Amino acid sequence: MMWIFIISDALTFAGFLIAYGFMRRISPVWPKQTEVFNMVLITFMTFVLISSSAVMAMAVGAARAAQPKLAVRFLALTIVGGLIFLGCQAYEWTHFIEEGARLTHNPWGVAQFAASFFLITGFHGFHVLSGVVILSIVALRAAMGKYSPDGVENAGLYWHFIDVVWVFVFAFYYLL
């Protein structure tokens, strides 16, 4: 069931990214993202999400090895990673809005530039927030001794999927 959800959600993100590609292609000009965004922050966010994904994989390993305490520790670290990512994203959004970016217009010219930013990173950020909530529930249940390795693994699959989506967003929205 988790895989069906992941594939359907992947197609939603694919639709967003292809629509973004369409807008890029159709637009006569497009702002240089590496000059608009704080790439140090974006790279740090990528580092945090990749690291949290690695720790999540270790949490699944610990759950499978019947080490619930270790699994809870790894889950807690993954949650911290997710919260750091969300904090950075909130900072990035605030900064971008303060610079004049809106859904309908922005100082860099093409209206779709900011609109696609809010849509794609917002949708992804909402997934990260959902992931943090799911992982918190799984961690709490594990701490209470009500954990199942399959439950941890499903939460892990969702978290890795969020990481995979960010890899695409990082490459195609921020770098290309």
Nearer to another protein, 94 or 108 (CB): 108
Query: In the set 12, 39, 102, 137, which binds another protein (CB under 8 A)?
Result: 39
Say if residues 88 and 47 touch (Cβ distance below 8 Å).
no
The whole-angstrom separation of Cα 109 and Cα 30 is: 8
Say if residues 135 and 155 touch (Cβ distance below 8 Å).
yes
Query: In the set 18, 97, 103, 137, which binds another protein (CB under 8 A)?
Result: 18
Query: In the set 87, 97, 102, 109, which binds another protein (CB under 8 A)?
Result: 109
Answer yes or no whether residue 124 interacts with another protein by CB under 8 A.
no
Instruction: Dig out the tokens for 54 from the structure.
Output: 């690695």
Nearer to another protein, 22 or 94 (CB): 22
The whole-angstrom separation of Cα 142 and Cα 51 is: 22
Instruction: Dig out the tokens for 176 from the structure.
Output: 């290309």
Query: In the set 47, 122, 126, 140, which binds another protein (CB under 8 A)?
Result: 47
Q: Which stretch binds another protein (CB under 8 A): 75-83, 88-96, 123-131, 157-165?
A: 157-165
